Amino acid sequence: MASMPKGILGGFTGTIGPTVGAIWRGKDYVRSRSDGRRHGSSQKQLEQQLKFALVARFQQPLHHLLNQTFPFYKKDSIGVNRALSYNL
């Protein structure tokens, strides 16, 4: 069930039919609901997922430090994500 915290003209959260509303970093957004996966992951996708998980686990203890110190390139990006991208 969806809720509309800002009234009919504002954003909403939850699912209404095939539409999903949410708030991310203070911004309302609407997207369509995913159809889900039809096929399993390929070998290359599984390898990339393992790389991503390894780097994310390595950076986890440094989360707050990376948010404060990693170079700022994008307006809507946080330090942990920038560091993850750089290290990958």
Q: Could you read off the pLDDT of 10-68 as tens digits, one per residue?
A: 677 888 888 888 887 777 788 888 888 778 889 999 999 999 999 999 999 999 998 88
Cα separation, 22 vs 60, in Å, equals 26
Confidence tier at 8 by pLDDT (50, 70, 90) = low
Per DSSP bridges, beta strands 19-24 and 14-16 are: antiparallel
